[in-house]
Each structure stands twice: as structure tokens, then as C-alpha cells.
Amino acid sequence: MTGDASLFATLSKRNKEGYVSFRNNSRGCIIGISDIGKAPYPVIKDICLVTELKHNLLSISHLANYGYGINFVKDKCSIIDSSTGSTIFEGIREDNIYVFYLLEDANTAGRCLMAKSIESQLWHMRLGHANMDTISRLSTKKLVRGLPDISFKKDTVCSECEKNKATKSAFKSKNAVSTTRPLQLLHMDLFGPSRIASLGGKLYAFVIIDDFSRYKWVYFLARKNDA
């Protein structure tokens, strides 16, 4: 049982399914039951989510019911898959309690593990989220040393590219006038510096159009901050 809902792969909270009594005579309510872990990593089934529980507790009999073998020695405890005989994960003894690190296994702590990823997508990220057509040309023309000769197709969705490369849709022009009086809505545009200066030597232009009357003002500016 645990009080941390973030440990579950999937969890749908339900109505009260029972209570757990604590040492101070208070009680925690069981509000959900689900699995912790996700294949191909070890999965522990039917873990209770208990309100107000400050620690994660693992029952030996619960593991035995699901076909795991448990081997205790002086400084560690091994959880063994009875069908294959392989060690699923190990716990270390801290004082008189055996502690399991399910999200960061003690056996793999400190190691650098390779993350599996689609190779073309991995190179897309390594090259600063470059366009797949560009990467394909780099690969075909052998312009980057170490770039593999694989198919670079835009067959997957990159969430970072969707967020940062999205463009706004153009606003369509409208024939009807939505304003009712002059100066109610002004359209403004500041542009420059121009390659050719005005007769007064100005390089910037500030254009203002009144939406109702379509009256226009054009101001030529020497500096941008004069707007």
C-alpha cells in the first residue's frame, strides 16, 4: 500500500473500499487499487492507495500470492520470479527494515542505461530538431560524419516541434465595418529601417489607420523608439 498516487501507471480513484488502521489509532481510507510498474519492468499488482499514508509498505505474503519467491539474508532481500528463477529486484537492509527502490533499482543505481528510441527521431533531436527532409539530404550526400544511412521520414509526431514551430493562421479580410465611431479601433504598423531614407533623412515609418473612417496617418521617424 502507498499514499503516493503518482507511483501508479494507471489509476482510477473509486469510492471507499475499506480502511487501514495506523499505530496512533487513526485510520486511512482506501480510495483506489491498481498496479505499480510497467512491463518490461517489474509490476506489482493490486497495490492500495491509502489516504494519509506517509510510507510505502510491501507485504511479503502479497508477493508470494503472485508467484514471487523472497530470499532474506543479513544485508539484503531478493525478490525472485518463481517461474524463471531470475531476480526481479533487490532490497537493501536499513537498520531493521528491508527497503526496495522500485523506481530506481539499487542494482542499477549509478549506471548509465541506453534509452530506446526510433533512430531517425533520435537524430532529429540530436540535430536540434532539424527538418527530416534536411537530415535526409545530409545523409544522402554524406555531409555529416557518423550520420547513419537510414530512412529519414516524417512518420512520427514531435511534440517539441509542434509547440515551437507552429505558426498563426492568417486573419481573413472582412467587408463589414464592426466599429461605430472614429478612433474606436486603430490599426498600427511600425516598420524600418528602410534601405532608402526619406527626404528628411528618416529611416522608419509609423502608419495608423482608423477602422471606421479609414483615415490614415503616416509619420516618418529618425529612430524606432520615437513611435
How many whole angstroms separate alpha carbon 8 and alpha carbon 1? 11
For the segment 115-120, the average pLDDT, to the nearest whole number, is 62
Please give the share of the chain, as a percent, with pLDDT higher than 90: 18
For the segment 96-120, the average pLDDT, to the nearest whole number, is 58
| Pick from 118, 119, 137, 124: nearest CA to 165 | 124
User: Looking at the predicted structure, is the pLDDT value of residue 115 above 60?
Assistant: no
Contacting residues for 153 by C-beta, under 8 A, at least 6 apart: 120, 132, 136
**pLDDT at res. 102:** 61
pLDDT band at residue 111 under the 50/70/90 scheme: very low
Model pLDDT for residues 169-214, shown as the tens digit of each residue = 777 777 777 899 999 999 999 999 999 998 889 999 999 999 999 9
Contacting residues for 114 by C-beta, under 8 A, at least 6 apart: none
Contact 22, 28 (CB under 8 A): yes
> What strands lie across the sheet with 204-210, from one edge to the other?
186-191, 204-210, 216-221
